[in-house]
Amino acid sequence: MGKEKILNEICEILCNRGHVQKTLDPLGYHLDNSSEEVSGETKIIDDLGLDSMDVIEVIQDIEDKFSIDLEVSPDMKMLNDLAEKVAKLIN
């Protein structure tokens, strides 16, 4: 599975948890209550505003979705970092 598909799945998880909004435009997701697009460059803490409990819940959802064990590290700051880590574990 490619990184873009993984990123889209992560965005869907974030949408299901109410952290981003799904839109009808081709890019698909915006930050909650904003017109700012969600992309691989979106920062997990700074842009999405996730607290530590939110991060844990999202990581658990990602682990369930992809049947992996994902260790969070301080260098995983953007959604791209997270998608790349997932890609390495499933490919």
In one-letter notation, the amino acid at residue 34 is S
Which range marks the domain in which residue 64 is found?
3-90
User: Could you identify the residue written with the tokens 């301080």?
Assistant: 74
Q: What is the pLDDT of residue 78?
A: 94
pLDDT of 47-77, one tens digit each?
Answer: 998 998 999 999 999 999 999 999 888 888 9
Which one, of 79, 88, 81, lies nearest residue 9 by Cα?
79
pLDDT of 1-12, one tens digit each?
Answer: 888 899 999 999
Structural domains of the chain, count? 1
Q: What is the pLDDT of residue 27?
A: 56
pTM, full prediction: 0.88
Q: What is the CATH number of the domain that holds 40?
A: 1.10.1200.10
Rounding to the nearest 10 degrees, give the CA dihedral for residues 89, 7, 46, 62.
-50
